[in-house]
Amino acid sequence: QKEVEQNSGPLSVPEGAIASLNCTYSDRGSQSFFWYRQYSGKSPELIMFIYSNGDKEDGRFTAQLNRASQYISLLIRDSKLSDSATYLCAVKAPPGNTPLVFGKGTRLSVIA
């Protein structure tokens, strides 16, 4: 059974610091990896995706993929109060009709 594991948190970081969110997955054949942000009572919003081993940067966000360790992370630099949300890691394995599998999410709290 395909599983995606995340630490539920809450993870508390001071404003301006770096937040580091982690995720592991069980299916070694997984090929696509996504990070979604979900504010309380709202829908998940796609913020990052990564397909290749290594780092991918987009503004204050960096996604990291380590296939050998089956590990994904999301770094948020210069954390802002508005970054406080639950971050969901999602993994997709081939074939194309396999559903996206989500972790339970990590709650991030950025404190002033």
Partner 1 sequence: NAGVMQNPRHLVRRRGQEARLRCSPMKGHSHVYWYRQLPEEGLKFMVYLQKENIIDESGMPKERFSAEFPKEGPSILRIQQVVRGDSAAYFCASSADRATREKLFFGSGTQLSVL
Site residues for partner 1 per CB under 8 A: 4, 8, 31-32, 34, 36, 42-46, 49, 51, 88, 90, 92-105
**CB 59, CB 79: distance < 8 Å:** no
Instruction: Please say which residue, 82 or 96, places its beta carbon nearer to partner 1.
Output: 96
To partner 1, the closest distance from the beta carbon of 99 in angstroms equals 4
Instruction: Please say which residue, 26 or 32, places its beta carbon nearer to partner 1.
Output: 32
Number of other CB atoms surrounding residue 31 within 10 Å: 13
To partner 1, the closest distance from the beta carbon of 48 in angstroms equals 11
CA angle 98, 103, 106 (to 5 degrees): 155
To partner 1, the closest distance from the beta carbon of 16 in angstroms equals 29
DSSP-based three-state secondary structure for 93? coil
To partner 1, the closest distance from the beta carbon of 11 in angstroms equals 15
| Side chain identity at residue 102, one-letter code | F
Take residue 45 and report the two structure tokens written for it: 């919003």
Instruction: Please say which residue, 2 or 60, places its beta carbon nearer to partner 1.
Output: 2
Query: How far apart are alpha carbons 80 and 10 in whole angstroms?
Result: 16
